[in-house]
Amino acid sequence: MSTTLSPDSPLLRPALVGGWVLPNRVWTSTPTVNRADADGTPNARQARSYAERAGAGLIVSEGTWAGAGGRGGPNAPALRTARQQAGWERVADAVHAERGKIVVQLTHAGTTDDRTPPRAPETDELPGIVAEFAHAAELAVDAGVDGVELQAGDGHLPHRFQADGVDPRTDAYGGSPENRARFTLEVAAACVDAIGADHVGVRISPGQQLDGVTEDDLSVYEVLVGALAELDLAYLHVAAAADDPIVDKLRGMWPTTFVLDTGVGSDDDTLADLVEDGRADAVTVGTGPTTRLR
């Protein structure tokens, strides 16, 4: 997508999202680049990079690891210590200096121990993992970040609970769509309790096959979105093709801001039509500075 739009483009209309007044409806979703310090602390280079995207309606950060054992690779950003929080404060200050807004996308590798590789967590580990998400959300807003996005798609831990084709479970978190939605709902509710619904969004990617995740039964998303709707979150962020039937189905169920990520290659007119037609309230685009959107 280009960063030069006609002044009357629907993408340039301001929007009220949760507690934020956003200047436009083009959000930027940052890919994972793993440029944090070795301990997961965002550094000055990352702060500058995010500030360059401040013209977006909202910046969604790269995946940030919420748990002690939840790091997804070397130099992946994290948010659980005072030093990491100070790094995110640096990022927030840089973005706000350019009149932008940013949320931290929270994820987890499924273990609470740095010495254990990512794996499907045991049932008795789940309350601790949920608490780590909520703690990271608190650290984020205390650092001055505008909110958090729960990464419940793209092969990340919540997605692996939702999907019927990976990590089969026989406990209360596996089997039926209601059970498979349970973990994501618990994390979302804990984040809402910690920082308020106006500061929480959720990203999902129905049917996406990534990192070993496969799913045939997409009815879990009707269960999940219906229950998330009751939390009155700031937004729902859906990664799917614009012509995927599930988009309009979930759009019809969602009461607040509905954000659509149609992937690489969507042109300005297509994205503008999605907003003009009411199929989405905002759209996300990938990498690249968005300063000229202002």
CATH number at residue 225: 3.20.20.70
Distance CA 129, CA 108 (A): 8
d(CA 27, CA 129): 28
Does residue 261 belong to any structural domain of this protein? yes
Residue length of the chain? 294
Look at residue 2 and tell me if it is in a domain. Answer: no
Instruction: Let me know if residue 148 belongs to a domain.
Output: yes
* Angstrom distances, CA of residue 5 to CA of 13, 52, 264, 268, 285: 11, 18, 18, 8, 14
- pLDDT band for position 266 (cuts 50, 70, 90): confident
Residue 266 domain flag? yes
Nearest 5°: the CA angle 52, 53, 58 is 150
Q: Structural domain of residue 124, as residue ranges?
A: 15-293
Note the pLDDT of residue 72: 65
Q: Specify the amino acid at residue 85.
A: Q
Chain centre to alpha carbon of residue 91: 17
Cα gap 9→73, rounded to integer Å: 40
The answer to the question of residue 93 being in a domain is yes
Residue 178 has pLDDT above 70, yes or no: yes
CA nearest neighbour of 64 among 162, 166, 142, 139: 139
Q: Is residue 223 part of a domain?
A: yes
pLDDT band at 5 (very low <50, low <70, confident <90, very high): confident
Q: Specify whether the CB–CB gap between 106 and 79 falls below 8 A.
A: yes
Residue 196 has pLDDT above 70, yes or no: yes
Instruction: Please indicate, yes or no, if residue 262 is contained in any of the structural domains.
Output: yes
Give the pTM: 0.93
Total number of domains constituting the chain: 1
269: which residues sit within 8 A by CB, 6+ positions away? none
78: DSSP letter: B
Residue 159 forms part of a structural domain:
yes
Nearest CA to 11 out of 50, 56, 52 is that of 56
SS3 193: helix
CA torsion, ordered 150, 152, 153, 159, to nearest 10 deg: 160
pLDDT of res. 86: 98
Note the pLDDT tens digit of each residue in 35-87: 899 999 999 999 999 999 999 999 999 999 998 765 667 788 999 999 999 99
Give the pLDDT score at 33: 79
